[in-house]
């Protein structure tokens, strides 16, 4: 499908581009998975090296296994552990987005 990040971005009150949760929520599960994978591939490609998981300190070797959570790099399993513990404390707009991330199957 080939999503560009701008396709599902909106400008917040500070002028920063942030994810458009309503737009992303309208995607099918497969479309969201594809969009998220493209974002992770861009992120890894721009870094030039495999990110290290902030949960277990091991290298995240594939974009498919990378989850970004409040600026942290996590394996999908480490993300699920952290998010499950913190979900009730996350503000609603972030929870809507990370609930979508939690359902990713790649």
- 3-state secondary structure (DSSP) of residue 82: helix
Q: What is the dihedral of CA 84, 66, 51, 57, to 10 degrees?
A: 40
DSSP state of 3: -
Give pLDDT, residue 22: 61
List the one residue out of 27, 30, 32, 72 whose CA is nearest residue 53. 72
pLDDT in tens, 40-51: 998 898 888 899
The pTM is what? 0.79
Whether pLDDT at 85 is above 90: yes
């Amino acid at each position: 499908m080939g999503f560009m990040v701008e396709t599902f971005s909106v400008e917040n009150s500070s002028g920063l581009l942030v994810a458009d949760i309503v737009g992303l929520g309208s995607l099918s599960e497969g479309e969201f998975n594809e969009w998220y994978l493209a974002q992770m591939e861009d992120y890894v490609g721009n870094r030039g090296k495999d990110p290290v998981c902030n949960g277990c300190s091991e290298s995240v070797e594939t974009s498919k296994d990378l989850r970004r959570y409040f600026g942290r790099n996590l394996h999908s399993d480490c993300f699920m552990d952290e998010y499950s513990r913190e979900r009730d404390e996350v503000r609603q707009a972030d929870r809507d987005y990370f609930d979508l991330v939690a359902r990713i199957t790649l």
